[in-house]
Structure 1
């Protein structure tokens, strides 16, 4: 996952003694992150540099290591699958019910249960909750190679950690390191790569696993190295992950939900699954966490003021969080969708959000956040 501007909200949420380990959660903990890091965008046909996309500090994180870092000191209950949510008549509590027959009751439920969120379905209904496919798909591949080949894939002029390559014929390739922990044994490194391609959203893909690999290899032969080689060296029978590109815009009127007096809301991929080629998902999830945390801080101290005060402050605080999140993330869902289209259409590439905006948070989103915090301060005081 790519962490860049999301580092700022993360600093508020995580104690420094934990966050100090962020470098160790990178795909290669031996390569320090620099303020000068850039994401190279290469012409997949010629190998020419199109642009080095600017961002704030760009950490390329392993999900499993990053998650372990954040788990320290937290009581996590594993193996829970939510089935329903109920609300007390007095508007004070919410109860999550699980498949194993257990339940948990609290003042607020923040659902972060992924792009196919069960809670989102409960809030807006099955049809409205469905993610929307766009006209592209991808096949994700994780591969290991011989020592010689692994060293070649990380040698200059190839970027040692990540690079993206749109192709004039309408597909887009990515290559990055996924696991470089074993510094002395390149044959143990794992690489992550895919080629995304046009596919009508209504088309049902019936390729077998081997056929997905063959399809990726055929497209890769149109690319320059390192993509041509990393796919050619890939086994024909390994497991890969095929998926259509999908999103869900929380700002659409038909996606509005009732937060039940501030007792239930959505965040992260549950609130705004987006296409991945602008690298924004993790960063917006962290901004959600920051903003909802600030909202909780605003009403939590009002418990001693009586039930009516608690309910009103919680309702106002969560409404403010949702207004900020929907405006910010809704814009990003649309920008990421535009970016995915442009990365597969050479005539649109120069206008893609990746080229015109980089990976920073848009000015509109920054204004949304600032207005939201001012509104919440007015509510609190």
Structure 2
């Protein structure tokens, strides 16, 4: 949070509660923790401290951060090329934009990454781990209460060849009526790559995967056929050095180091990327303004080197976390158990 708070304008931070999944919470040591339960016995395995962390709706946070930003939706990048004093981006709709720098933050299937390392080398790899998620708004407040009582933010279950998770997506409506709240469940297991939505996804989870236990299985069992459910394979890309076009183009976030969703590392590393990128640009501009000769290639090259090294470590760690999370004998060896959610 400290880095995020430094990067984001005050008027956005003042409205951050608008993006919280459960803004009614009194945040304390109990709430600021992620409990993990034994998939065999149902007993608590460990609690992973998350001091200062806040679970947010990705959609609402994106909308909040987009305020006062000039976003051109629906534009697909066609090519990037160097200019004498900058860089040019051409788009499929015929639009061209000249800029001093280009930062590719366009996700796991980044087009910018393809252009900097080559299409084949840029392809994300299948992990062999499937990820399912379901979104529920139960008409019966008692069912929502079962989820919330496990933990008011989120809880996990591990160790039986699968991982389960439950929690709150949105409690923005009436505090006294949990039938208006939205909850979620997730499930992770090893399997062949599939991509399913809706009823087909729910049927696959119910019929083709081993059941969880207690509240984690109830959340799945209670899911209506018309609920949002998806199943797909988690993918990753271990970063390698890229051509930064003489310090004019680089990558950040999932474009630079897409990883499996363990310990919230993807978002944390994305924030670090942006912080380092801004510092690199500030360093360049400060020295140019002072008449000093600073190499753009060296400064941005140092940014790239750090992102590649840190990102590669984080991606490999996420794969290791996934392996350990499926076996009850190795769950407590996970970084989530020994180190928590910090980088």
User: TM-score of the superposition, structure 1-length normalised?
Assistant: 0.83
How far does residue 182 in structure 1 lie from its aligned partner after superposition?
0.7
C-alpha contact (below 8 Å) 1:45/1:222 kept by paired residues? no
- Shift in alpha-carbon separation, 1:48–1:26, aligned structure 2, 3 A: same
1:127-152 CA distance string (max 9 Å, x none): 11111111210222111112334443
Q: Find the aligned partners of 1:29 and 1:55 in 2 and give their Cα distance.
A: 17
3-state SS of the aligned residue for 1:234? coil
How far does residue 20 in structure 1 lie from its aligned partner after superposition?
2.7
CA RMSD of aligned residues (A): 2.2
Q: 2:139 aligns with which of 136, 146, 159?
A: 146
Find the counterpart in structure 2 of residue 18 from structure 1.
12
3-state SS of the aligned residue for 1:230? helix
How far does residue 45 in structure 1 lie from its aligned partner after superposition?
3.2
Q: Find the aligned partners of 2:10 and 2:300 in 1 and give their Cα distance.
A: 27
Mapping of residues 51-200 of structure 1, within 5 Å: 51-88=46-83, 90=84, 92-156=85-149, 158-168=150-160, 170-183=161-174, 184-199=176-191
How far does residue 330 in structure 1 lie from its aligned partner after superposition?
1.6
Q: Find the aligned partners of 1:297 and 1:245 in 2 and give their Cα distance.
A: 36
Q: Find the aligned partners of 1:148 and 1:220 in 2 and give their Cα distance.
A: 28
Corresponding pairs, count: 341
- Name whichever of 51-60 and 143-152 sits farther off: 143-152
- Shift in alpha-carbon separation, 1:16–1:205, aligned structure 2, 3 A: closer
How far does residue 55 in structure 1 lie from its aligned partner after superposition?
2.8
1:106-157 CA distance string (max 9 Å, x none): 111001000000110111112111111112102221111123344433453x
Find the counterpart in structure 1 of residue 204 from structure 2.
215
- Shift in alpha-carbon separation, 1:219–1:164, aligned structure 2, 3 A: farther
Q: 2:337 aligns with which of 355, 361, 368?
A: 355
C-alpha contact (below 8 Å) 2:202/2:230 kept by paired residues? no
Q: Find the aligned partners of 2:41 and 2:281 in 1 and give their Cα distance.
A: 52
Find the counterpart in structure 1 of residue 279 from structure 2.
294
- Shift in alpha-carbon separation, 1:32–1:79, aligned structure 2, 3 A: farther
User: TM-score of the superposition, structure 2-length normalised?
Assistant: 0.92
Q: Find the aligned partners of 1:345 and 1:102 in 2 and give their Cα distance.
A: 51
Q: Find the aligned partners of 1:284 and 1:161 in 2 and give their Cα distance.
A: 22
